[in-house]
Structure 1
Amino acid sequence: MTAAEICVVGVGYVGLIQAVGLASFGQRVECVDLDPRKVEMLKRGVPPIFEEGLEEALADVIDRDLISFTTNIADARSADLFFVAVGTPTSDRTGNARLDYLDAAISSIAEIAKDGAVIAVKSTVPIGTCARFQARLDRDHPEKSLHIVSNPEFLREGTALNDFFNPERIVIGGANEVARDRVRASYAGFEDRGVPMILSDTSTSETIKYAANAFLATKVTFINEISDLVETVGGDIDQVARGIGLDSRIGPQFLKAGPGYGGSCFPKDTLALATIGRRHGVQQQIVETVIRINDSRRFRILKRIEAAMGDKISGKRLAVLGLAFKANTDDVRDSPAVDIVHALLEEGAEVRSYDPVAKFSVDHRCYSQHESIAAACEGASAVLVATEWPVFKSFDFAAIENLVERRYIFDMRRIIDLGAAWATHWDIERIGSPMQKATA
């Protein structure tokens, strides 16, 4: 095996996609992670996360001897480019991103890296972080010329491999032109295809990442507020979204009414941006409002479910279909579906759930997860569709009509076929619409 020129530190969601993607281009990649269980799984070609196409892509680069996995950073001492993709979770104390994992990773790299090595930070970090780490490297390792570059990721869970191979832009921020060019060279295939390369300083690069996610979160929240209005005054929220989305200045993406944004990025990054703004005396009022509205959306949905249940949830059995924060992923971090499960349990309901991929466990005697839609719906007074999995779009009402206690479905994702529901005499309620009762 030839020595790797590229090392990826942290092979969670972002790091693994980065490593497999670069290896797919024929570059030798060494992957380092402190979790020995994860490393052993990856050596066997088993991804620790669910992402469409990832298992096949991983098997391909393993077979071509282009990727390897280790828990020992010293195994990557020959690399001249390190991509760091460790977690930066929200601090409960400050509301900002925690940097202890990143700090440890960069310190470990600095100890073993050769002179001239470049450290590209893919982790989402507060603005100014890379500049501070660069100053520390210059102070603590004057014998080496080590350079920090900001290279944020723009992957969407569920389509991450496609996003890697078909990026809309690549952002590279750094003070040293040679270091920026080294990172740029690793993406040479993209530049040849005309993918825009944004070369900047590190603060600009860090800001682009936060601003992009905050703007998308704002679009999600905006259409949800309009959806609430449509529920009251009448109309079709899908047509409203289409009508404004066809405006090229707005665009159709992220205009799907639902239970609010979730996942590992939007909640964390909006909160961090608001915290950064307050710390610098430049309050991000739009972002702070977005956070408040999104947080309250689960409560609004709960109130609507209560109203449909006659203001009494306690003692009722409810089926929740979908646990992941979005389809095509197993990620339940900050998932609206999971928040609603918790809220229902707190109200005294019995909750039975089903998700094609995602798993969620809670120590509660009234919660259970099942292996099929039918098993989750047995005896339910209400069926709640919380994630937009394709299998729920073709919901077989006839197959479970005799299993449920009441033929009532609350579609939080607006994916259920209304005609099929009415044909089997189900009452259906949807985000962005008033109650629609079946005719006898």
Structure 2
Amino acid sequence: MKICMIGGGYVGLVSAACFSEFGWSVTCVEKDADKLATLLDGHIPIFEPGLDALVDRNRAAGRITFTGDVANSVKDADLVFLAVGTPMRRGSGHADLSYIYAAVEEFAPHLTGFTVITTKSTVPVGTSREIERRLRALRPDADFAVCSNPEFLREGSAIQDFTHPDRILVGCDDERAKEVMSRLYKPLALRNAPIIFTSRESAELAKYAANAFLAMKISFINEIADLCEEVGADVQQVANAIGSDGRIGNKFLHTGPGYGGSCFPKDVSALVRTAREASSPLSLIEQVQIVNEERKQSMVTKIVRAAGGDVRGKTIGVLGVTFKPNTDDMRESPSLVILPRLMDKGATVKVHDPQGRRHAEAMLEGAVWCENAAKVAEEADVLVLMTEWNEYRALDLSAVRKTMKGDVLIDLRNVFNPADAEAAGFVYRGLGRPDRLLEPPVAKVVKANP
């Protein structure tokens, strides 16, 4: 089976590499000249654990190639995947489909034989039918079917998610296309991965609904964390208790400075916009957005208060700036809101991130970059853990504390044990945890209304 993957970004590159690992012949088309040059030089333009080795192995076997030539890549393909960007349009919240439609116009003249056109990109409901309409107008003679095959990959564990999926979702109305898609994913079906066939509209909406639900869990536990701080409870204990319920599950119940990344912010926004236009507003999901934006500002307030109420003239060391560990992705990272606001208040901000500097340096103008975590802590008044990279978990807190000017440790991911932090000489502040560390907090009694 021959596959043409249009788009060599995160989704396209991971998908292309994994399909080639199944034994299929994959041509990955990348139009960005710099990215293409990087790929042709044998390097990977993104950081994703294990991806470089996967690409190298299949490149050597001749199963994956990279090119900027759409025409020759499409004409012999059994499947053409659309994996181009669908960013959020400024001001409207809509998904920008211009890259999708531009790709359709470019490959349409080169279709030969029966071809399955499949959207991997996250697209609003109705996009697959619009792609079909445009293709029919451009090539009324062509033999093709359009499917929706959304991805459910987590940055940092994308290869594992692709090769061991909870489900494979295919929106398809054509029987021949169903056969092609079933054959494509047979290596996973043999491992008992369920393939769910739905209508195209259902598949497109399911992708948005899944991301909105996960974003809702994050905003929910962040609000519960705030309540825990007021009543003397511990959010991790609460999360463990409710996450043990099979109806709820324990994933995405980890408090933090707010969700970010390439998916949740834009997908929640696009779903809200779709619902409004369909006259079926999603008030619950709209509130998820509000809570997440307010969360970032509340983290600024938390840091300022812990620093004594004023950060002017103080040095704040920050560990991690990417939106999550094991990725270099800075898109919609909470750090892009929190750190500039601290600098606006007069703080000097020193930062380190194991992979984020390449993208973040230009985005965090004024921040002082350090070569390691130890340098971040030197002479800092306050140390803030922003992203829970594993290397930060292993920090010698006593040694770190000795190099600092101040003694405040703000743990925005609840990575450190509060008692260990205090034993190292820190005044520790986590999220959803009582401030007093060595004695149980006195819970506030909430009286019911008579």
User: TM-score if structure 1 supplies the norm length?
Assistant: 0.96
Q: Secondary structure at the match of 2:113?
A: coil
Contact 1:236 1:433 in 2 (8 A): yes
Task: Give the equivalent residue in structure 2 for 1:35.
Answer: 32
1:391 maps to amino acid: E
Offset of residue 362 of structure 1: 3.9
Task: Give the equivalent residue in structure 1 for 2:393.
Answer: 393
Q: Distance in 1 between matches of 2:211 and 2:411?
A: 26
Q: Distance in 2 between matches of 1:106 and 1:180?
A: 21
Task: Give the equivalent residue in structure 1 for 2:15.
Answer: 18
Contact 1:394 1:416 in 2 (8 A): no
- Compared CA separation, residues 419 and 107, structure 1 to 2 (3 A): same
Corresponding residue to 1:342 among 335, 340, 345: 340
1:370 pairs with 2:367: no
Corresponding residue to 2:226 among 215, 225, 228: 228
Q: Distance in 2 between matches of 1:364 and 1:252?
A: 33
Task: Give the equivalent residue in structure 2 for 1:406.
Answer: 406
Q: Secondary structure at the match of 1:402?
A: helix
Further displaced range: 287-296 or 173-182: 173-182
2:430 maps to amino acid: R
Q: Distance in 2 between matches of 1:96 and 1:181?
A: 33
Task: Give the equivalent residue in structure 1 for 2:446.
Answer: none
Offset of residue 438 of structure 1: 8.3
Corresponding residue to 1:45 among 42, 47, 63: 42
Q: What are the superposed Cα offsets for residues 278-327 of structure 1, whole Å, 9 maximum, x if unpaired?
A: 11110011110000001100111111111112221122110110011011
Further displaced range: 51-60 or 390-399: 390-399
Q: Secondary structure at the match of 1:361?
A: helix
Q: Secondary structure at the match of 1:119?
A: strand
Contact 2:108 2:138 in 1 (8 A): no
Task: Give the equivalent residue in structure 1 for 2:172.
Answer: 174
Identical columns (%): 39
Q: Distance in 2 between matches of 1:234 and 1:363?
A: 37
Offset of residue 400 of structure 1: 2.4
Q: Distance in 2 between matches of 1:137 and 1:109?
A: 10
1:48 maps to amino acid: P
The gaps in structure 2 that reach 5 residues or longer are 440-450
Corresponding residue to 2:252 among 232, 249, 254: 254
Task: Give the equivalent residue in structure 2 for 1:326.
Answer: 324
For the aligned residue pairs, the C-alpha RMSD in angstroms reads 1.5
User: TM-score if structure 2 supplies the norm length?
Assistant: 0.94
Q: Distance in 2 between matches of 1:94 and 1:423?
A: 50
Further displaced range: 417-426 or 267-276: 417-426
Q: Secondary structure at the match of 2:376?
A: helix
Further displaced range: 131-140 or 233-242: 131-140
Superposition map of 1:99-118 within 5 A:
99-118=97-116
Task: Give the equivalent residue in structure 2 for 1:62.
Answer: 59
Offset of residue 365 of structure 1: 6.9
Offset of residue 13 of structure 1: 0.3
Superposition map of 1:349-368 within 5 A:
349-359=347-357, 360-362=360-362, 366-368=366-368
Q: Secondary structure at the match of 1:40?
A: helix
Contact 1:10 1:84 in 2 (8 A): yes
Contact 1:267 1:334 in 2 (8 A): yes
1:18 maps to amino acid: S
2:56 maps to amino acid: A
Q: Distance in 2 between matches of 1:120 and 1:362?
A: 35
Contact 1:427 1:436 in 2 (8 A): no
Q: What are the superposed Cα offsets for residues 38-83 of structure 1, whole Å, 9 maximum, x if unpaired?
A: 1222223311111111111111001111110001112212112111
Superposition map of 1:193-212 within 5 A:
193-212=191-210
Contact 1:33 1:39 in 2 (8 A): yes
Contact 2:317 2:376 in 1 (8 A): yes
Q: Distance in 2 between matches of 1:125 and 1:191?
A: 25
2:434 maps to amino acid: P
Q: Distance in 2 between matches of 1:62 and 1:13?
A: 18
Contact 2:378 2:404 in 1 (8 A): yes
- Compared CA separation, residues 94 and 230, structure 1 to 2 (3 A): same
Further displaced range: 75-84 or 359-368: 359-368
